[in-house]
Amino acid sequence: MFGTIAWTVTSRLAIAASWLPRPVYFRLLSYVLQPALRWARGEAGGGESVRPAPQRADRDVPQPAAAIEQSAPVAAPPPLKTVARALVIDGFTPMPDRDAASNDIYWFMRILLGLGYEVTFVPAFATAHAGRYTEDLRALGIVCPVAPALASARDFVAVHGGTFDLIALYRITVAEGLIDVARKSAPNAKVIFNAVDLHFLRDQRQAELNGQLHAFVEARRREPQELRVIRAADAAVLLSDFEYDYVGRHAPDARRFFIPLALPVPGRLAPYEGRAGVLFVGGFGHAPNVDAVRFLCGAIWPRVRRLLPGARLFVAGADPPGEIAAFHMPAEGVEILGHVEDLTDLYRTVRVAVAPLRFGAGLKGKVVASLAVGLPCVVTSIAAEGMPDGGADAIAVADDADGFARAIAEIHADPDRWYRMSDAGVAHARANFSIETITGEVRKLLESLGLPHGSDTLRVRDR
């Protein structure tokens, strides 16, 4: 309680002090506010450096976060008569087997194809050919210019933007550098900004968890920049209903749409009987996942093993750093698997998925993916945030290590509860995240913008 009060006081003082000359501000943080906060939290030392960090254009670019679908070569759909042209831009070529946002972008483009659009994809931060990921998009009929012909996304928009009816920009790190040139070069195009998540909100929460006053101040300063882009777009797409409401309160003049993640919903892959174990999915270039596994393996899992001796935990995700790899102790039931290209076998054989996130933003792909395959999920409040209404029966929520461990053990040992949660999860996923449902939401979005929105017969199919 005292630590919470200390954070409230020191963070407000830090925000106020940020308007002082920078040398005075950094001295005040270094020698007064940050030490006082560490003392109040009972921290012996450490804490953040408050030296101004060098600014990089890609400072907030999220790395692959959660594998939720196998990516394999796919056949191009039958040709449709083109009704409009769409340009989609993200930081990197989508990798649907490594990252929830990539999976969502991939399906957004497939939906547009099914609605008769000619779709072009341009990566803003890595213009080189991305191997099979580029080829998979081209196999669908998506136009994918790459280096050296593609010099930069900005140049592409400046030269070709006016030939498109729709320009979709993903993430603030992309949109903040392109929305103005899109407006100038393509005055007749409709511009959609898909936030993926509110980056400033994620960074604020990380700073608060870690007691980093300067990082908190910098995140607060980025909030108006992100809201400016949301206002500047013809439509802002929010994946989380929490963030949809947040933007409504803080940018009421923005034209916003709540469209959750899209993914195929195969339903329950196997019965309760014959399953065992617990699964975490999340790539480790994404800071919330590193912290979540640290919390999971360090605090939650020892409690689970006391309740379920012999239980096994599988941690799947690309690029685990040394501190995460060090948790690999099969004798203690922990297996750090690294990147798993196809999660089907794990989804079919474990009993419980977990998402012990302590900070983050947006809708959590790992949670949505577990519901889609009928796998009960234990989550924190942060991981549950943003879920559409009606999903309470599909997840169990706990924020402390004891409660989280108890929820895992109870679901793992109770087939009746497991089946109730499994059925509820599949139903919730089909109602809110299926390709058919999201296709309907995209059509409403396009219709509201005065753009073609397809015929009654769509060529969008789960593969």
278-432 topology per CATH: Rossmann fold (3.40.50)
Q: What is the mean pLDDT of the chain?
A: 87
pLDDT at residue 8 in the model? 73
Q: For residue 51, is pLDDT > 70?
A: no
Q: Which residue has the higher pLDDT, 97 or 463?
A: 97
Q: What does the alpha-carbon distance between residue 105 and residue 102 come to, in Å, rounded to a whole number?
A: 5
Q: Which residue has the higher pLDDT, 360 or 459?
A: 360
Q: What does the alpha-carbon distance between residue 332 and residue 367 come to, in Å, rounded to a whole number?
A: 25
Q: Which amino acid is at 261?
A: L
Q: For residue 456, is pLDDT > 50?
A: no
Phi, psi (rounded to 5 degrees) for 104: -65, -40
pLDDT at residue 272 in the model? 97
Q: Which residue has the tokens 């080829």?
A: 135
CATH number given to 84-264+435-448? 3.40.50.2000
Taking CA atoms, 161 is separated from 110, 113, 146, 177, 178, in Å, by: 21, 19, 16, 14, 11
pLDDT at residue 390 in the model? 84
Q: What does the alpha-carbon distance between residue 12 and residue 19 come to, in Å, rounded to a whole number?
A: 12
CB atoms within 10 A of CB 461: 11
pLDDT, tens digit (0-9, with 9 covering 90-100), for 114-150? 999 999 999 999 999 999 999 999 999 999 999 999 9
pLDDT at residue 175 in the model? 96
Task: Decide if 84 contacts 166 (C-beta within 8 A).
Answer: yes
Task: Decide if 150 contacts 159 (C-beta within 8 A).
Answer: no
Task: Decide if 172 contacts 192 (C-beta within 8 A).
Answer: no
Task: Decide if 397 contacts 424 (C-beta within 8 A).
Answer: no
Q: For residue 301, is pLDDT > 50?
A: yes
pLDDT at residue 170 in the model? 97
